[in-house]
Amino acid sequence: MRKLGVEEMGRMTVEEFKESDKFPFTIVLDNIRSLNNIGSFFRTADAFRAERILLCGYTQSPPHREITRSALGAELAVNWEKVPDTLSAVKELKAAGYRVWCVEQAEGSVLLQNFVPEPDFSYAFVFGNEVEGVEDDVIAASDGCLEIPQFGTKHSFNVSVSAGIVFWEYVRNKIT
């Protein structure tokens, strides 16, 4: 066994990615403060072919050297929009027919392994600030909260790690 070289992986160009079919989900970042986390979201959105990222509140947007450092250029491929207010973004997504789920530990949350996306709907996944989490009014306006089971001593994952876990579960349900 040997590692594959980059040229053997058959990756898309930025242009091919932009024109490709996407999995029907949008990423909503609610006041993410770390530029490295934002860049990681772009890279993960690229890997799972997300429709777009909504950068809400004080979440910074490209171009920014620190975002690019983590994104490795994915910010050039993934569609994104800067939105002043997360709650407004969630209301617009719901009005457009999206199912909106916050990734948050909350009363009545659904464990990720029990989440079954409805096949005829697009989804939006909201990720909150690294310290404060998703804003309460955003949770109240959403369709529910997804919780990732954890078995150690800590009570949270890094927000960008959570994204990778949630997106894989979502996409896995779409491809199987």
Following DSSP, what letter does each residue of the chain receive, concatenated? --PPPGGGS-PPPHHHHHHS--EEEEEEEES---HHHHHHHHHHHHHTTEEEEEEETT---SS-HHHHHHHTTGGGTS-EEEES-HHHHHHHHHHTT-EEEEES--TTPEEGGG----TT--EEEEEEBTTTBS-HHHHHHSSEEEE----SS-S---HHHHHHHHHHHHHHHHH-
pLDDT confidence of residue 155: 87
Name the residue among 110, 105, 102, 107 with its Cα closest to residue 139. Answer: 102
β-pairing, 99-103 with 80-83? Answer: unpaired
Report the distance separating Cα 54 and Cα 79, nearest Å: 9
6 is a domain residue: no
The count of residues in the chain is 176
Specify the number of domains making up the chain: 1
163 is a domain residue: yes
pTM of the predicted structure, to 2 decimals: 0.96
87 is a domain residue: yes
Residue 124 domain boundaries: 21-175
97 is a domain residue: yes
5 is a domain residue: no
CA 26 to chain centre: 7
Q: What is the CATH number of the domain that holds 31?
A: 3.40.1280.10
49 is a domain residue: yes
134 is a domain residue: yes
Name the residue among 105, 130, 148 with its Cα closest to residue 33. Answer: 130
Instruction: Note down pLDDT in tens along the chain; length 176 residues.
Output: 999 998 899 889 999 999 999 999 999 999 999 999 999 999 999 999 999 999 999 999 999 999 999 999 999 999 999 999 999 999 999 999 999 999 999 999 999 999 999 999 999 999 999 999 999 999 999 999 999 999 999 989 999 999 999 999 999 998 87
Name the residue among 127, 161, 159 with its Cα closest to residue 142. Answer: 127
10 is a domain residue: no
Q: In what order do the strands lie in the sheet with 123-128?
A: 80-83, 50-56, 23-30, 123-128, 99-103, 144-147, 110-111
